[in-house]
Amino acid sequence: MTVTAQEYPTTSVPTEPVITPEAWYGADLAETGDWLYRISEAAQRELDSALRHVEALGLSAPDFGKADFPLPGFAAELDDIRGELEGGRGLVVMRGIDRARYSKKEAAFIFWGIGCHLGTAVPQNGEGHRLGHIRDLGFSFSDPSVRGYQTSAELSYHTDMCDVVFLLCLNQSKSGGRNQFVSAVSIHNEILDRRPDLLEVLYQPFYFDRRGELDEAGGKPYYAMPIFSYHDGMVSTRYLRHYIDSAQRIAEVPRLTSQQNEALDLLDEIAYRPGMFLGVEQEPGDFVLINNYPLWHLRTTFEDHEDLPRKRHLLRQWLSIPNSRGLPETFRGKFKNLEPGAVRHGIAVRPHPQPKPPPDAADLWEGLDAAPLSA
């Protein structure tokens, strides 16, 4: 049995370009640099005393909250950053933490503490991890049960399934592993201008592979939603071509049409065009924040260091932010709650009869205590 696209909601296609602050071009951002936020001396001092406070309480990430990590002045700046994430460009890089001062574990605590002030960290996989490790675990991305963050493969342009993805770099790879960000709203507007017929196609549902993250036991191994939706004057998007292509392994998923493939190719052609995207080298201690509804991100393939303590290592939070946008019905199947400011995400946590230890967390935390962030 093949499912049909008519079962899934869509929104109307705007007839004019959608001009919002999140419709930017990478070349302009590279010139202004105003997405790069320098952590001030005063903010550093507050982060430092909040860290010492939480350590004195004997608490550990992810088991402390906002009240345990007081930021009397910096919290207001984080409010502004949240306003930049929803309602602004959708992208912020925070840089300038004193790397020599902290171990990787202390940096992880600071990362968690900042996240507590920005929003609510939600589960990012079926195991319910809210503080996730991005490491090459030696898995192959061609295995349909493997998620991209567990590999060294190139992760082509995509959105994560939350309001805001928040990353902290602990270690860089030997080479590669660069981040690229692009405004899907600008891509949308380019397609409206060049090929409005294909924009119509991208407003129709596409089938995505769930990659083993099922909504419930026995649930379908795929879901469907459009790549672009238009709601409240904003374009919101869900994209991950690798998972669209890998959903084709599932018999009941309709085959991609030549027109759909042409539309996907056009997305990529525009998204990789110089001037469209912003490339960012994430250094140890850099905090990156991306709104997933208007922006896409990618990571290039990387070559890693041989010895474990030096291997590329990022920490990740998926944040639900209190000033998030309302989402259209097209997001209901995956995100469930569409209300503005709702705590939501697109991953169902598997119930375990007994708490199951995270498959990767224990060994990845090991050694972070002693390792300096600057190494």
Question: Which lies closer to Fe ion via its Cβ, residue 88 or residue 132?
Answer: 132
CB of 226 to Fe ion, least distance (A): 20
Size of the site for Fe ion (CB under 5 A): 1
The encoded tokens of residue 251 equal 């018999």
CB of 153 to Fe ion, least distance (A): 12
CB of 27 to Fe ion, least distance (A): 23
Residue 46 found at the interface with Fe ion (CB under 5 A): no
Q: Are 26 and 277 in contact (CB under 8 A)?
A: yes
Sequence-separated (6 or more) residues with CB below 8 Å from residue 75? 117
Question: Which lies closer to Fe ion via its Cβ, residue 124 or residue 186?
Answer: 124
Question: Which lies closer to Fe ion via its Cβ, residue 125 or residue 204?
Answer: 125
Residues 116-155 as x/- pattern, contact with Fe ion by CB under 5 A: ----------------------------------------
CB of 7 to Fe ion, least distance (A): 28
Question: Which lies closer to Fe ion via its Cβ, residue 181 or residue 223?
Answer: 181
CB of 74 to Fe ion, least distance (A): 26
CB of 209 to Fe ion, least distance (A): 15
Question: Which lies closer to Fe ion via its Cβ, residue 160 or residue 286?
Answer: 160
Question: Cβ-count burial of 277 within 10 angstroms (0-12 exposed, 13-18 middle, 19+ buried)?
Answer: buried
Q: How far apart are CA 215 and CA 227, in angstroms?
A: 20
CB of 167 to Fe ion, least distance (A): 9
From the list 139, 126, 143, the residue with the least C-alpha distance to 214 is 126
**Could you tell me which stretch among 111-119, 156-164, 252-260, 281-289 binds Fe ion (CB under 5 A)?**
156-164
Residue 160 found at the interface with Fe ion (CB under 5 A): yes
Three-class HEC string of 254-296:
CCCCHHHHHHHHHHHHHHCCCCCEEEECCCCCCEEEEECCCEE
Q: How far is CA 361 from CA 134, 135, 167, 310, 357, in A?
A: 10, 10, 16, 17, 8
Q: How many residues are recorded in the chain? A: 375
Residue with the shortest CB distance to Fe ion: 160
Question: Which lies closer to Fe ion via its Cβ, residue 86 or residue 160?
Answer: 160
From the list 213, 119, 127, 211, the residue with the least C-alpha distance to 166 is 119
Question: Which lies closer to Fe ion via its Cβ, residue 79 or residue 281?
Answer: 281
CB of 300 to Fe ion, least distance (A): 13
Q: How far apart are CA 113 and CA 79, in angstroms?
A: 14
Question: Which lies closer to Fe ion via its Cβ, residue 37 or residue 318?
Answer: 318
The encoded tokens of residue 87 equal 């309602």
**Could you tell me which stretch among 159-167, 243-251, 260-268, 325-333 binds Fe ion (CB under 5 A)?**
159-167
Q: How far apart are CA 169 and CA 167, in angstroms?
A: 7
Residues 271-310 as x/- pattern, contact with Fe ion by CB under 5 A: ----------------------------------------
Question: Cβ-count burial of 1 within 10 angstroms (0-12 exposed, 13-18 middle, 19+ buried)?
Answer: exposed
Residue numbers of the site for Fe ion (CB under 5 A)?
A: 160
